[in-house]
């Protein structure tokens, strides 16, 4: 009998590799990854002046023809891995580092291979329950009582956006009310807060930057006075932004006091704990973050203080119904997915389809348990204390006692303009490349900052950093 003529023209099924082909691909990826991790100690934390390499990006272009995985990986290493910042390095002390633990990458691998539809309970009850378990664990860690809800986001900026949108919705800040509505923050608030206000249509609300105390924390008395004044002149105070670990110096605002004010004046209190929140896993962090449980919303970044690879934030809202009503939707084609007594992530955020990001957090927490993470965070606190003391000992000026794991400092030398001098130090450190730090502006002066948060940063890296600073100072101070 004649076989039937193929109806479809595509009889090439290369996207469905055979087991042998899959193994060959995986072996190469694995060997690349092993080599990357094994040589981290000798890799730079920062590749100074590598932008020229990426301008010649023609190898990264997508072509019609196939290329071999060996070639692709070689281009990837040259054009991507060996350029710019290396966040996987223990020498990364810039911005707020993360690190990227391996077990989390394996979680991502499994998430992509199984490709569960994590946004909707009906489609993947297991993936949604996993996300629920992670939200529950994080909320309890913050000290929230039952009734809270949350969402796993791509990072802190989107988590802030969701929280602020929920506050706006709950407080009914309509377009016509925006120009008389007031948000209270400080110059230490992260810029994602301002971005979020812009995105949610509150660009023209009144933003009051409240003065700071000598530790870069919000001045509670100035806040109280400002709110009373604003009420008196007929404005509508509706949102207080607190820092639980500011980006510049890691400052923690006094949250119990802020909560008292927010309750007295019926204002939503939001805590940006993107960096600091998981220090609740340590005794010192618990002490310093007292009052975080009183917030109406909190955000955290597991890709910072849980050392996960980039791509994971968390938003928590004290009353899950506020989060849900701010994101409520319905669509005919979603009717099969509607459930009673079970929110899906899609009910609680702007996303419908989403990365199955629960697995990258759940797998490491299941494998190692929370005490391992506490241990690493405690080590970072101790290293910060060490760096803080040693910087003073070698003649650098430290701006304030660190609340968490950021040390802000400057060198002041006779005959040098402070900004010029500290820019020279920054450039020298970056050119060396073994340690990476970033700068900011505090008290109108260029300020250097070291943030100790990578799981791969240990005493060796801090000693190298101190050695470099000592050497540079010596060269400049002759």
Q: Which positions lie near ligand PLP, rule CB under 6 A?
A: 95-96, 155-157, 190, 192, 247, 272, 274-275, 301, 313
Contacts of residue 98, Cβ cutoff 8 Å, sequence gap at least 6: 87, 301, 303, 304, 307, 308, 309, 310, 453, 454
Q: Which is nearer to ligand PLP, 207 or 339 (CB)?
A: 207
Contacts of residue 6, Cβ cutoff 8 Å, sequence gap at least 6: none
Distance CA 319, CA 329 (A): 18
What are the structure tokens assigned to 355, written together? 């990365």
CB of residue 428 vs ligand PLP: minimum separation in angstroms?
Answer: 25
Q: Which is nearer to ligand PLP, 120 or 377 (CB)?
A: 377
CB of residue 95 vs ligand PLP: minimum separation in angstroms?
Answer: 6
CB of residue 474 vs ligand PLP: minimum separation in angstroms?
Answer: 33
CB of residue 275 vs ligand PLP: minimum separation in angstroms?
Answer: 5
Residue 441's DSSP bridge partners are 446
Q: Which is nearer to ligand PLP, 158 or 178 (CB)?
A: 158
Q: Which is nearer to ligand PLP, 95 or 238 (CB)?
A: 95
Q: Which is nearer to ligand PLP, 130 or 274 (CB)?
A: 274
CB of residue 70 vs ligand PLP: minimum separation in angstroms?
Answer: 34
Q: Are strands 236-243 and 268-273 parallel, antiparallel or unpaired?
A: parallel
CB of residue 300 vs ligand PLP: minimum separation in angstroms?
Answer: 9
Q: Which is nearer to ligand PLP, 249 or 267 (CB)?
A: 249
Q: Which is nearer to ligand PLP, 45 or 251 (CB)?
A: 251
Q: Which is nearer to ligand PLP, 247 or 430 (CB)?
A: 247
Q: Which is nearer to ligand PLP, 154 or 382 (CB)?
A: 154
CB of residue 245 vs ligand PLP: minimum separation in angstroms?
Answer: 6
Q: Which residue is nearest to ligand PLP (CB)?
A: 156
User: Residue 30 burial (CB < 10 Å; 0-12/13-18/19+)?
Assistant: exposed
Distance CA 279, CA 289 (A): 8
CB of residue 216 vs ligand PLP: minimum separation in angstroms?
Answer: 13
CB of residue 157 vs ligand PLP: minimum separation in angstroms?
Answer: 3
CB of residue 440 vs ligand PLP: minimum separation in angstroms?
Answer: 12
Q: Which is nearer to ligand PLP, 95 or 307 (CB)?
A: 95
Q: Are strands 397-398 and 181-185 parallel, antiparallel or unpaired?
A: unpaired
Handedness of CA 200, 149, 403, 373 (dihedral sign): negative
CB of residue 307 vs ligand PLP: minimum separation in angstroms?
Answer: 14
CB of residue 417 vs ligand PLP: minimum separation in angstroms?
Answer: 29
Q: Which is nearer to ligand PLP, 116 or 449 (CB)?
A: 449
Distance CA 105, CA 360 (A): 7
Q: Name which of 262, 287, 264 is nearest 276 in CA terms.
A: 287
CB of residue 3 vs ligand PLP: minimum separation in angstroms?
Answer: 56
Q: Which is nearer to ligand PLP, 272 or 351 (CB)?
A: 272
Q: Which is nearer to ligand PLP, 96 or 182 (CB)?
A: 96
In terms of residues, how long is the chain? 478
**First-last CA distance in the chain:** 95
């Amino acid at each position: 009998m004649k076989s039937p003529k193929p109806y479809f023209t595509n009889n090439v099924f290369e996207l469905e590799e055979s087991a042998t082909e899959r193994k060959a691909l995986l072996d190469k990826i694995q060997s690349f990854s092993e080599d990357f991790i094994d040589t981290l100690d000798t890799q730079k934390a920062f590749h100074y002046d590598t932008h020229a390499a990426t301008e010649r990006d023609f190898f990264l272009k997508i072509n019609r023809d196939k290329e071999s995985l060996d070639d692709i990986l070689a281009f990837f290493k040259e054009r991507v891995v060996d350029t710019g910042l290396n966040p996987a390095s223990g020498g990364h002390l810039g911005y707020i580092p993360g690190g990227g633990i391996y077990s989390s990458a394996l979680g991502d691998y499994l998430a992509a291979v199984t490709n569960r539809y994590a946004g909707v309970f009906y489609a993947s009850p297991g993936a949604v329950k996993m996300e629920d378990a992670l939200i529950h664990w994080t909320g309890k860690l913050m000290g929230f009582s039952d009734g809270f809800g949350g969402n796993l986001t791509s990072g802190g900026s989107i988590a802030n956006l969701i929280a602020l949108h929920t506050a706006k919705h709950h407080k009914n800040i309509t377009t016509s009310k925006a120009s008389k509505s007031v948000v209270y923050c400080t110059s230490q608030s992260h810029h994602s807060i301002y971005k979020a206000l812009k995105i949610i249509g509150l660009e023209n609300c009144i933003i009051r930057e409240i003065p700071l105390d000598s530790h870069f924390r919000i001045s509670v008395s100035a806040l109280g006075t400002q709110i009373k004044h604003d009420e008196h002149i007929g404005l509508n105070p509706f949102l207080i932004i607190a820092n639980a670990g500011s980006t510049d110096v890691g400052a923690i605002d006094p949250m119990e006091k802020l909560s008292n004010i927010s309750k007295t004046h019926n204002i939503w209190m939001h805590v940006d704990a993107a960096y600091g929140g998981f220090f609740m896993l340590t005794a010192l962090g618990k002490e310093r973050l007292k009052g975080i449980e009183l917030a109406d919303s909190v955000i955290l970044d597991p890709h910072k203080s849980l050392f996960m690879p980039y791509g994971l934030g968390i938003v928590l809202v004290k009353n899950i119904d506020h989060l849900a009503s701010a994101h409520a939707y319905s669509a005919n084609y979603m009717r099969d997915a509607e459930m009673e007594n079970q929110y899906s992530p899609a009910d609680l955020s702007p996303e419908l389809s989403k990365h199955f990001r629960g697995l990258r957090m759940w797998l490491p927490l299941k494998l190692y348990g929370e005490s391992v993470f506490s241990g690493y965070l405690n080590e970072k606190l101790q290293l910060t204390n060490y760096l803080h003391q040693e910087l003073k000992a070698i003649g650098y000026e430290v701006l304030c006692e660190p609340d968490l794991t950021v040390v802000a400092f400057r060198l002041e030398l006779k005959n040098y303009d402070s900004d010029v001098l500290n820019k020279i130090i920054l450039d020298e450190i970056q050119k060396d490349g073994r340690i990476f730090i970033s700068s900011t502006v505090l008290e109108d002066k260029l300020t250097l900052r070291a943030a100790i948060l990578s799981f791969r940063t240990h005493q060796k890296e801090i000693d190298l950093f101190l050695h470099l600073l000592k050497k540079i100072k010596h060269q400049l101070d002759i």
